[in-house]
């Protein structure tokens, strides 16, 4: 195994190589800052100057993907998560993108709706919405005194407005100066809830068959692409159910079909949504990223507890094309420089979540 050394090392050479994402975007290196919920937005869920400085400090990354950013008010499930649906939020995000661009960085916004992973306390007393009224057990994140419950199943006629909210969020992102958008289709949130039989028990055109389970995700992709262009659209996926979700034998078939349809659309990338990508799913015949690579011909972003050394080995072996780091970027605003110098990243600990350092 090749070892990391000075700036000319195998790791640095591999991870710091520029990458042509498509005809519109070339990344200055293969390192991506993963989306991470920080719960630090201001009043009315408007991004702040502190958020602008936080992202700007990490602009050495080839691509920054923002924290999950809700596309309409009923998409909220955590405190102080930013939105992209109001003019004030667009203005707040513009100061973020300007700060990142001033340091020659690129940034996508992650378009998010949590679906059933919410509570009436965030929704003015209304029930969370979901594909089906399937209960979610456990205590609400960041408010352990509350418990999740049973969401309200969406009426078929309500779905087009949600698709439009994603599309308008993408248009707003362009107005805010983002270089593109990532559709959050992972981690047990709304789009992922449509993709898994555990949470999708529908009998209309959005449930039942494998093809119907992919319909909502593809409608969102198509609506977003129509607004901003396919080269500026990525998607994050969790083909292996593990977070706010239970697995089902049909999961693999649904994601195989979805990935084949995404291939036809030639979007910018697909991105693994998982905390630890060493996890093996028997119904995927391996890890989540290996499944994405087998069934998607375009760019794949690996993610999930990788070290720089391991990420470089995987990229060299064509396991994926880009690597997204999450917690290492919280602990190391200068992560890219450390990799360039062959320095070990500083360790992460949970106390770092208390501030935007």
* Residues 316, 14 contacting (CB under 8 angstroms): yes
Query: Rounded to whole angstroms, how far apart are CA atoms 141 and 119?
Result: 10
Query: Rounded to whole angstroms, how far apart are CA atoms 68 and 133?
Result: 24
H or E stretch at 318: none
Question: For residue 94, how many other CB atoms are within 10 A of its CB?
Answer: 16
Burial 164-183 (b: 16+ CB within 10 A, else e): bbbbbbbbbbbebbbbbbbb
* Polymer length of the chain: 357
Residue 186: exposed, middle, or buried by beta-carbon count in 10 A (0-12, 13-18, 19+)? buried
Strands (E), 77-128: 107-112
* Residues 239, 255 contacting (CB under 8 angstroms): yes
Tokens describing residue 166: 């994603």
Tokens describing residue 82: 């930013």
- Catalytic site positions: 189
| Cα–Cα nearest to 326, from 31, 21, 3 | 31
């Amino acid at each position: 195994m090749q070892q990391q050394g000075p700036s000319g090392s195998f790791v640095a050479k591999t991870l710091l190589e520029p990458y042509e994402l498509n005809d519109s975007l070339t990344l200055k290196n293969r390192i991506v800052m993963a989306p991470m919920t920080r719960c630090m937005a201001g009043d009315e869920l408007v991004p702040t100057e502190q958020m602008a400085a936080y992202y700007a400090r990490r602009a050495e990354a080839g691509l920054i993907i923002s924290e999950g950013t809700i596309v309409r008010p009923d998409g909220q499930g955590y405190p102080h998560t930013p939105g992209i649906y109001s003019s004030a939020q667009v203005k707040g995000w513009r100061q973020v993108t300007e700060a990142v661009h001033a340091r020659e960085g690129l940034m996508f916004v992650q378009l998010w709706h949590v679906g059933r992973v919410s509570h009436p306390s965030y929704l003015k007393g209304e029930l969370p919405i979901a594909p089906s009224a399937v209960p979610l057990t456990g205590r609400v994140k960041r408010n352990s005194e509350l418990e999740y419950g049973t969401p309200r199943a969406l009426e078929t006629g309500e779905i087009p407005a949600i698709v439009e909210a994603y599309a308008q969020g993408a248009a707003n992102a362009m107005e805010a100066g983002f270089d593109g958008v990532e559709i959050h289709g992972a981690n047990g949130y709304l789009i992922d809830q449509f993709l898994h039989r555990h949470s999708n028990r529908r009998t209309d055109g959005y449930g039942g068959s494998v093809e119907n389970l992919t319909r909502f995700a593809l409608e969102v992709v198509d609506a977003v692409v129509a607004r901003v262009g396919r080269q500026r659209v990525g998607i994050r996926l969790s083909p292996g159910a593990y977070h706010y979700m239970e697995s089902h034998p049909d999961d693999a078939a649904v994601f195989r079909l979805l990935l084949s349809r995404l291939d036809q659309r030639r979007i910018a990338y697909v991105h693994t949504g998982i905390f630890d990508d060493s996890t093996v799913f028997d119904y995927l015949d391996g890890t989540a990223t290996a499944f994405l690579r087998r069934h998607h011909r375009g760019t794949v972003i690996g993610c999930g507890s990788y070290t720089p050394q391991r990420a470089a080995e995987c990229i060299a072996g064509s396991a994926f094309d880009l690597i997204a780091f999450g917690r290492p970027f919280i602990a190391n605003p200068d992560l890219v420089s450390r990799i360039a110098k062959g320095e070990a990243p500083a360790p992460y600990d949970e106390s770092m979540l208390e501030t935007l350092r």
